[in-house]
C-alpha cells in the first residue's frame, strides 16, 4: 500500500490588468458572452469564451429550461459550440468564465463536475493543457493551468 498526495498549482490575480493580455481579452469575451445567457430561473448569468489554437474565440452562455435538468452550463455550451463549428481544430488554449448574480454583480463561478468531465476529455484529446481562467468577485481572477488540476481521475474510455 502507498499513500499518494496530489498538489495543484494555480495563480490568483488581484486585478485583470495583472494577467497576460491574452487572458484579459478572453475574460472580456466571457463577460460579453453573458449577453447570450438565458437564465430566467436562476437569474445567474454565465458567459464562457474558448480560445482556439489559431486565435479564434468562441463564446457560450448558460441556457436554462422549465424542465430544469435540460439546461446547459456556459462552459459546455461554449466548448460544444467550438467542437461543432471547428471539428478540424479541436485544440484549445484557454477557457474563461464570467458570472453575474441576480443583482447584476460579477461573482465567482467555478465549473461544475459535469463541465470538468467534458473539458477534461477535450484536454486529453489535444494532449496539452487547457487553461481555465475564472473571473472572481471584485475584479479578481484565478488561473488554473490545466483541467486535470480541477478533476483528477476523470472518466475516460
- Residue numbers at the binding site for ligand THU (CB under 6 A): 39, 42, 44, 46, 62, 64, 71, 73-75, 97, 109, 111-112
Nearest by Cα to 8 from 154, 157, 145: 145
Minimum distance between the CB of residue 10 and ligand THU, rounded to whole angstroms?
Answer: 16
Residue of 12, 17, 29, 75 marked catalytic: 75
Q: What are the beta bridge partners of residue 56? A: none
Query: Does residue 60 sit in helix, strand or coil?
Result: strand
Per the structure block, which three cell numbers stand in for 106?
460579477
Helices 21-33 and 74-85 pack at an angle, to 10 degrees, of 100
Nearest by Cα to 147 from 78, 83, 77, 75: 75
Minimum distance between the CB of residue 118 and ligand THU, rounded to whole angstroms?
Answer: 12
Pick between residue 97 and residue 150 the one whose CB is nearest to ligand THU.
97
Pick between residue 74 and residue 135 the one whose CB is nearest to ligand THU.
74
Active site residue 53: no
Minimum distance between the CB of residue 141 and ligand THU, rounded to whole angstroms?
Answer: 15
Residues belonging to the active site: 75
Amino acid at each position: 500500500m502507498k499513500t499518494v498526495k496530489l498538489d495543484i498549482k494555480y495563480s490568483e490575480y488581484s486585478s485583470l490588468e495583472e494577467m497576460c493580455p491574452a487572458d484579459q481579452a478572453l475574460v472580456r469575451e466571457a463577460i460579453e458572452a453573458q449577453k447570450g445567457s438565458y437564465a430566467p430561473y436562476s437569474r445567474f448569468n454565465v458567459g464562457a469564451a474558448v480560445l482556439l489554437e489559431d486565435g479564434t474565440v468562441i463564446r457560450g452562455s448558460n441556457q436554462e429550461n422549465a424542465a430544469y435538468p435540460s439546461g446547459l452550463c456556459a462552459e459546455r455550451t461554449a466548448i460544444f459550440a467550438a467542437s461543432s463549428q471547428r471539428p478540424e481544430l479541436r485544440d484549445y488554449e484557454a477557457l474563461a468564465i464570467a458570472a453575474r448574480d441576480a443583482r447584476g454583480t460579477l461573482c465567482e463561478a467555478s465549473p461544475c463536475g459535469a463541465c470538468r468531465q467534458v473539458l477534461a476529455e477535450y484536454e486529453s484529446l489535444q494532449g496539452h493543457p487547457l487553461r481555465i481562467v475564472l473571473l472572481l468577485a471584485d475584479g479578481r481572477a484565478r488561473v488554473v493551468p490545466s483541467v486535470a488540476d480541477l478533476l483528477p481521475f476523470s472518466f475516460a474510455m
